[in-house]
Homo-oligomer: A and B are copies of this chain.
Amino acid sequence: MSSLQQVNPRVRQDITPGALKPFKEVIDVSAGDPHRAGFKPVTFVRQVLAVCLLPRLLEEESLPLDVRRRAQRLLEACEGGSVGSYTASSGLPHVRRSVAQFVTRRDVGVPARAKDIFISAGLERALMVFVKLLAGGEEETRAGVLVPVPGPHTLPALLDQARVTLAPYRLAEARRWAVDLDELHRALRSARERCRPRAVYISNPGNPTGHVQDWESIEEVIRFAAAERLLLLVDEVHQDSVYGPGREFISYKRVLFEMGGEYSDTVELVSFHSLASAHMGEDGLRAGYIEQRNVDPEVMRFVDTMLCTDISTPVTGQLALDLMVDPPRPGELSFDTYRQEILLTRAVLSQNAQRAQEFLNDLPGMSCQPAMGGIYLYPRLHLPPEITEKAEMLKVQAEDLYCQMLLEETGVFLGAGCQYGETAANYHLRLCVLVLPDTLEEVLARLASFHRHGRASSP
């Protein structure tokens, strides 16, 4: 293993050409990538996929029988019994049915239909298709999307590329990054002066803020979307990572359904999930799904076509998705191992989040809201004038400068919070806590050392 193993390949390019550094290895905690960070793949998932790729392993008795049975079923779902064949643009019907059954179980019986499920090559791909369909117009008539600030750091580039206007709504940091209804209304009014808002993007559990909406908060947002006729684009990729005491994941779909006819048959909802969840971490296999509700069938036909001409989802990813939504059940041979693996990841994530939050709050000039889910913490940073003045001189964002210095001096790569033109003196960092505990300790130690004694010391 290279000493740079834990850093995103793009970051590594940026730093390797440099001079000798005072650290042994770079650790990238700016974004999540569980296997790169040292988490092990789910055994059941990999066993089944290996058999699907090499069907003679169906006879391999060292593999559990439930693994081989599942592989057999999945191969029967593939054209010509091979993962090498194309699939329908909306995905393998078998996988769409599995997803519908998963959603129904998850939502405590609220029904889901396979025909409302579309498989895509990950969240970004599916989101891009929807946003492109919304796009249109120029200047004040240009389509707009309300987006959370802070929100997923990959979102602005994606919306830009799709040529829609970003209309930011701020999450309430002091209330653990809650979605604030008044702020949604303010953001909408403001947006209407410069574009035509068509949708509101929600990240729940929140990326990178770690908030998890409760039933009431979700209902508020749905009423808002209904009253303002906005499409709800709901990123629920971290639904398996809710660890806040007493918190559980509640889907928008479930709340919408329970709100009854006036809402459940009219509000347009598209929710997203993917293999990039903490438990699976199979980001490299590239697959996810959307579930739609109340979206015009004509639009959905277009979605299907666009998903198709662009790229059909890799079949190995589709099968992994099936295994994610339909894992081993109690009593099955692979269940115990599966359960232990999932519980371990969950425990590490939860403990890391708590440990890091407490640690960061003990640092001078740092404050961090507790997270209840997701894979990030988003601490606030009070920067001394040395940094802010230097940033101004260099014409860079102060947080970017802080992160660059931290990287150069300690080898720790954090995400800079600056986005959507944040107001000055409102600085944040993005820290992915889905890492092994030892890695987290190393990150925190280096960060503390830099923060206390380096150029970023509190005045």
Contacts and interface: CB of A to CB of B under 8 A. Distances in A.
Contacts of A89: 10
Nearest to A37: B80
A151 interface: no
A33 interface: yes
Contacts of A53: 46, 49-50, 53, 316
A98 to B, nearest CB: 17
List the number of copies, as a whole number.
2
Contacts of A309: 124, 154, 157-158, 161
A41 B81 contact: no
Contacts of A154: 309
Contact of A286 (B5, B33, B78, B312): B312
A82 interface: yes
A103 interface: no
Contacts of A35: 79-82, 84-85
Nearest to A287: B314
Interface in A51-67: 51, 53-54, 57
Given A46-B53, A47-B54, A88-B10, A1 B284 contact: no
A310 B124 CA distance: 7
B310 A125 contact: yes
Contacts of A1: 81
Nearest to A92: B9
B285 A41 contact: no
A8 B316 CA distance: 19
A338 to B, nearest CB: 15
Contact of A54 (B36, B50, B124, B128): B50
A284 B10 contact: no
B84 A41 contact: yes
B46 A87 contact: no
A197 interface: no
A38 interface: yes
Interface in A1-26: 1, 5-6, 8-10, 13
Contacts of A161: 306, 309-310
Contact of A84 (B125, B158, B283): B283
Contact of A8 (B33, B86, B306, B313): B86
B54 A88 contact: no
A359 to B, nearest CB: 25
Which 6 pairs of residues, A with B, have the shortest CB-CB distance?
Answer: A35-B82, A284-B315, A50-B54, A9-B88, A314-B314, A36-B80
Interface of A: 1, 5-6, 8-10, 13, 33-38, 41, 46-47, 49-51, 53-54, 57, 78-89, 93, 121-122, 124-125, 128, 154, 157-158, 161, 280-286, 306, 308-317
8 contacts: A9-B86, A35-B80, A50-B54, A161-B310, A284-B312, A284-B316, A286-B311, A286-B314
